[in-house]
Chain A
């Protein structure tokens, strides 16, 4: 979810009105935006929550949506007309980064502010919508220096040199990929390619190596520039069209005259071999009027739906039964009629709907495991145990090594961020031992317990593991003995109406001769014993400790 910064003066100009913070906050509902305060320079910070509406990730886009609500929708004429230049694509790009497109923007007075805005929009689009330039990358150039046609070529990285932005000397493409900061950051997208994309003009000057970095000769835009060439490359043609449509409308809103550029492909694309951009996207949705009432729970008239959606920037035609709704060319998020219904509700205002309580009768019920867990918890509290509630994503060493069981199979994380949070607990015991290790200064005796989920590694299970519900109790104080905890275990069994059998066993975390498996009708349902001193040492526990852990699922 992108957060953008907006210059309040710039925004007032784009909107044609100045909004105070409270009013802005209210109106941001229209764009699913959240006002996040101001930055040090006094700029508004706005978080945009709809990941399917990249057209809103700029001051221009937000202003456009807000203007429409006041019936001041602008129609853009540049989605038709003859192209003023051409990009010619080389066939090898089909397998590398197949799509390219561009438009020209003239008569713009590029100021410091509008330049910052343009760069921000371009970056948010490439980062969020273009998934860090993998899907879509954008370049902006000084139009006046480019000689058409532009060629989109695939070249070997050692074959070509140019001076990238931020450098003084020409470098080979290979060197740029290895050493230039943007090459280091985005080079992964082209990793393993024998040839990489390159944009050069008819005079042989380099525009850029998409999606990495522009050239200094053509790709540097400074305040005062009036005419721009805006280009995008992509792995998906519709994403490319949408990104360029958004940028074209943003620049048009700043007073630029947009001119189309044609891309000529040597291969077939979903839009043919000659694609002129910007262009309309066919994203119209047909929706029966009745759908509005059905989904919203209030009567909606055709004229109302028509008017409200028009005020949300759509073009609507209504035949008395169905509406045909065409979103603006900057939007491609209508997948289903329900999307249109939501736009209607947002444009009408959620505050205009009166909440109605659901009337259906249903019965509240706990899951059997929860009910059992609750019963056990009540008994344990009655026995004077203090309840713990631990995080269960922890380190392998605290679960396996510290219990003297380094080979213990566990459910582990593949993409570890921090070794401390890399494995799911398979027992609760290590969580209680960790808590005890931190409680040396608390008044004794310590009687701890926890119930809850653990993940047990199990090859035979569909997900390679089973989620089980356990109970663990730990007793720690200078005179702690098995007999004391045995009495608690016995009481618990009696309360639960179960008869346990204790069978001597060997467990690495328990002292030999002081460890038992807990059995219920011959089935193992837990263990009980005195914690091995080596384990106590690992958890920095300075008093003897005895514990039992029961596998509650097997006892219900």
Chain B
């Protein structure tokens, strides 16, 4: 960050810190905080400043401190050594058991034992007659008095650097805390690292600029309802926020990316004047294939592998007059001028139920009820007997439709595809290639040049054969068209496995990007 950015976004605590510390050549993170800043806040502020590069570490020092333990605190009022000496002076020679009895409730017997031991060692107490103890007259109690003073001092100061004690006291602390073990010691020595810090040139520059900006540390951080109510915000400035920091991630309601893509396509088709068709997931072979002039016993039907329904296996009837007309067209061509396929049409097979295998079934069903002129589309979920892999989902969508009109012919068919290329795929470069569909003649495929992948098939179309339209009572030319949405969607969404279009877990979904509309 630049100094001016830092200066503009200093937190009020930072301002207060800098007001107090900027003038010092160096400081420590143990130094007393300035007014209005707690110790904890000071440490936080120093961390912020370190992160921004305003402050740097000069050196890291380890310092040892001494303080009283609970036991130590309990002896501030009097140590067992001085208490024993004073009591012996008052009582004269007595057995140890008498002393223990005397101090019951104040010191434990082991403490009395240790105090006697220490007094003996210092030559202040000696064994008298009959297993008694007696005070040595004129003996000095000075070391024990010094120890008591140290307790007093530590009690008052709380925590003192070890280095601040006299050599004697230091030894006392080290001895007291080491020899008697932790649980019984009077003193606790801790060590702390203290960092020596100073402002960097960047920090100085930032602070200089902050002063020029008039940053006082009194800026408003959060505007509260109270400030609004009492008007205390007036005359104050507001701390600027740092918007460079990454905000927390939001979980929000959101459309599914593939669904959103299909919405886009629907919107395009609506804009182009298409009316939507919807149908059933379970269809008869009649509407799925026969009505589309796909012969019942031809390889075109073999490649068209479908899922059959287990129960019921057949529909009860097929709507008339369509059933008879289609049968006639298949076998002899009927009144269409066609030869037909020349086989005996199987009505039973027509009634067989399948999972819809192609979106064109919607067009087949719509023909006899369609308006002329009319433009129709359907985005239909379809099913094929395919191994599920990166290019085959268990079910998938086809976008298909029809256009009826007296002016429909091959060149308007090309025109429609050109419109799709320009409006739906936004691809100005295209070429048309001959194609084969059992239900259209002529048939055409449109290829577009995609900026990333090069030439790709956008869709296929054709003019419905008379064998398809005549049985439905339609006697105007009808364009049948289909768009290959899967690949367009995968490119729009940046995917390379078709199964990811139907992403079914939140982690993937939340990562996925939504398609953008133009």
Q: How far is the CB of B192 from chain A (nearest CB, A)?
A: 39
B residues within 8 A CB of A36?
A: none
Asked if residues B282 and A463 are in contact (CB atoms below 8 Å), the reply is yes
- CB-defined contacts of A296 to chain B, threshold 8 Å: 409-411, 442
A-B contact pairs, 8 of them (CB 8 A): A351-B431, A355-B414, A362-B273, A365-B275, A365-B276, A366-B276, A386-B253, A435-B506
Q: Is B432's CB under 8 angstroms from A351's CB?
A: yes
| Contacting residues of chain B (250-272) with chain A, CB-CB under 8 angstroms | 251-256, 258-259, 263, 266, 269-272
Q: Is A234 an interface residue (CB 8 A)?
A: no
Question: B273 — which chain A residues lie within 8 A by C-beta?
Answer: 361-364
Given A362, A370, A435, A446, which contacts B274 in the complex, CB threshold below 8 Å?
A362
On whether the beta carbons of B505 and A438 are closer than 8 Å, the reply is yes
Are A49 and B408 also in contact (CB < 8 A) when A295-B477, A355-B418 are?
no
The reply to whether B280 and A295 form a contact with Cβ atoms under 8 Å apart is no
Stretch at the interface among A185-193, A220-228, A338-346, A515-523: A338-346
**Is there an interface contact between A463 and B506, defined as CB atoms closer than 8 Å?**
no
Given the complex, which residues of B lie within 8 Å of A367, measured CB to CB? 276-278
Which residues of A have CB within 8 Å of B410?
295-298, 345, 353
For B504, what are the chain A residues with a Cβ–Cβ distance below 8 Å?
A: 388, 390-391, 431, 434-435, 438
Q: Could you mark each residue 518-553 of chain A with 1 if its beta carbon is under 8 Å from any beta carbon of chain B, else 0?
A: 000000000000000000000000000000000000
B345 to chain A, nearest CB (A): 15
| Chain B stretch 409-456: residues in CB contact (< 8 A) with chain A | 409-412, 414-419, 431-436, 438, 441-444
Given A362-B273, A389-B502: A354 and B431 interface contact (C-beta under 8 Å)? no
Distance of B510 from chain A, by nearest CB (Å): 7
- Chain B CB within 8 A of A111 CB: no
A209-221 CB contact bits vs B (8 Å, 1 = yes)? 0000000000000
A32 to B298, CA, bound (A): 19
Most buried by B among A339, A364, A417: A364
Contacts of B103 in A (CB 8 A): none
- In the bound complex, do residue A342 and residue B277 qualify as a contact, i.e. CB atoms below 8 Å apart? no
CB neighbours (8 Å) of B256 from chain A are 387-389, 450
- How many Å lie between the Cα of A389 and that of B514 in the bound state? 13
The distance in angstroms between the C-alpha atoms of A257 and B299, with both chains bound, is 31
Which residue on A lies nearest to B356, using beta carbons? Answer: A467
Whether B47 sits at the interface, judged by CB under 8 Å, is: no
Q: Is B309 an interface residue (CB 8 A)?
A: yes
Assess A366 versus B502: contact at CB under 8 Å? Given A389-B256, A417-B387, A441-B507: no
Q: Given A441-B507, A447-B253, A297–B412 Cβ distance below 8 Å?
A: yes
From residue A489, how far is it (CB to closest CB) to chain B in Å?
A: 15
User: Does A336 interact with chain B (Cβ within 8 Å)?
Assistant: yes
Let me know if A390 and B407 touch, CB within 8 A: no
Interface flag for B128 (CB, 8 Å): no
- Residues of chain A within 8 A of B466, CB atoms compared: 336, 338
In which size bucket is the chain B interface?
Answer: 35 or more
Say whether B409 contacts A294, CB under 8 Å. yes
Could you tell me the distance between the alpha carbons of A57 and B444 in the complex, rounded to whole angstroms? Answer: 20
Interface-centre pick from A297, A361, A448 (highest chain B CB count, 10 A): A297
Q: Would A51 and B431 count as touching, CB distance under 8 A?
A: no
Partner of A356, one of B317, B355, B373, B411: B411
For B262, the closest partner residue in chain A by CB is A389
Stretch at the interface among A137-145, A175-183, A316-324, A406-414: A406-414
Contact residues in A for B388 (Cβ distance below 8 Å): 418, 420-421
**Among the listed B281, B340, B441, which residue makes an inter-chain contact with A453, where contact means beta carbons less than 8 Å apart?**
B281
Q: Which residues of A contact B (CB under 8 A)?
A: 1, 29-30, 32, 49-52, 128-129, 131, 135, 238, 294-298, 334-339, 341-342, 345-346, 350-351, 353-367, 369-370, 374, 377, 380-394, 411-415, 417-418, 420-421, 424, 431, 434-435, 438-439, 441-443, 445-448, 450, 453, 455, 459, 462-467
Say yes or no: A462 contacts B315, CB within 8 Å.
Answer: yes
**Which of B253, B436, B509 contacts A32 (CB under 8 A)?**
B436
A50 to chain B, nearest CB (A): 4
Which residue from B272, B333, B435 sits with its C-beta under 8 Å from A335? B333
Are A52 and B333 within 8 A (Cβ)? no
Show the binding face of B for A, using Cβ within 8 Å.
Answer: 249, 251-256, 258-259, 263, 266, 269-284, 297-300, 302-303, 307-313, 315-317, 333, 336-342, 353, 355, 371, 373-375, 381, 383, 385-388, 393-395, 403, 405, 407-412, 414-419, 431-436, 438, 441-444, 463, 465-467, 477, 501-507, 509-510
- Closest Cβ neighbor of A130 among chain B residues: B299
Q: Do A335 and B339 form a contact, CB below 8 Å, given A129-B299, A356-B414, A386-B253?
A: yes
B506 near A465 (CB under 8 angstroms)?
A: no
Give the contacting residue for B270; candidates A1, A366, A390; CB below 8 A: A366
Beyond the given A386-B506, A467-B281, please list 6 additional residue pairs across the A-B interface where CB-CB is below 8 A.
A353-B411, A364-B274, A435-B504, A439-B505, A463-B283, A463-B309
Residues of A within 8 A of B338 (CB): 335-336
* Residues on the B chain within 8 Å of A453, using CB: 281, 381
A/B pair count, beta carbons within 8 Å? 281
Residue picked from B311, B385, B431, most chain A C-beta under 10 Å: B311
A369 contacts across to B, CB distance below 8 A: 278
Contact for B284 among A294, A356, A431, A463, CB less than 8 A = A463
Query: Are B274 and A413 in contact, with the CB atoms below 8 A?
Result: no
Contact of A355 among B307, B417, B433, B435 (CB under 8 A): B417
Residues of B within 8 A of A380 (CB): 253
Contacts of A339 in B (CB 8 A): 441
B431–A341 touching, CB < 8 Å: no
CB within 8 Å for A363 and B275 given contacts A295-B409, A438-B505: yes
With A353-B414, A362-B275 as given contacts, are A383 and B253 in contact (CB-CB < 8 Å)? Answer: yes
Chain B residue nearest to A380 (CB atoms) is: B253
Q: Smallest Cβ distance from A116 to chain B, in angstroms?
A: 23
The chain A residue sitting closest to B437, CB to CB, is A49
Asked whether A370 lies within 8 Å of B387 as measured between CB atoms, the reply is: no
Docked-complex contact A297 and B434, CB < 8 angstroms: no
B492 to chain A, nearest CB (A): 15
Query: Nearest A residue to B371 by beta-carbon distance?
Result: A362
A400 CB, min distance to chain B CBs, angstroms = 14
Cβ distance B267 to chain A, nearest Cβ, rounded Å: 9
Q: In whole Å, how far is A296's beta carbon from the nearest beta carbon of chain B?
A: 4
Q: Are A131 and B299 in contact (CB under 8 A)?
A: yes
Question: How long is the Cα–Cα vector from A358 to B477 in the complex, in angstroms?
Answer: 12
- Contact B282 A387, beta carbon cutoff 8 Å: no
Assess whether A350 is in contact with B444, with CB atoms less than 8 Å apart: yes
- Contacting pair A364 B385 (CB below 8 A): no
Partner of B395, one of A365, A388, A391: A391
CB B214 to nearest CB in A, in angstroms, measures 42
**Residue numbers in A under 8 Å from B303 (CB-CB):** 1, 51
Which of A362, A411, A455 counts the most B-chain CB atoms under 10 A from its CB?
A362
Contact B405 A335 (CB under 8 A): no
Query: With A392-B381, A424-B281, A455-B282 in contact, is A52–B436 under 8 Å at CB?
Result: yes
Knowing A51-B298, A359-B407, say if A413 contacts B308 (CB, 8 Å).
yes
Q: How far is the CA of A335 from the CA of B338 in the complex (A)?
A: 5
Q: How far, in angstroms, from A297 to B281 measured CA to CA in the complex? A: 37
Given contacts A351-B431, A392-B381, are A464 and B355 in contact (CB under 8 A)? no
Cβ of A463 and Cβ of B394 under 8 Å apart?
Answer: no
Cβ–Cβ < 8 Å partners of A29 in chain B? 433-434
Pairs of residues from A and B, 9 with the lowest C-beta to C-beta distance, nearest first: A297-B409, A360-B373, A442-B506, A364-B270, A355-B414, A438-B505, A342-B442, A297-B411, A439-B506
Query: Which residues of B sit under 8 angstroms from A386, Cβ to Cβ?
Result: 251-254, 506, 509-510
Which residue of chain B has the shortest Cβ distance to A476 in the bound complex? B506
Cross-interface CB contact of B309 among A294, A346, A366, A411, cutoff 8 Å: A411
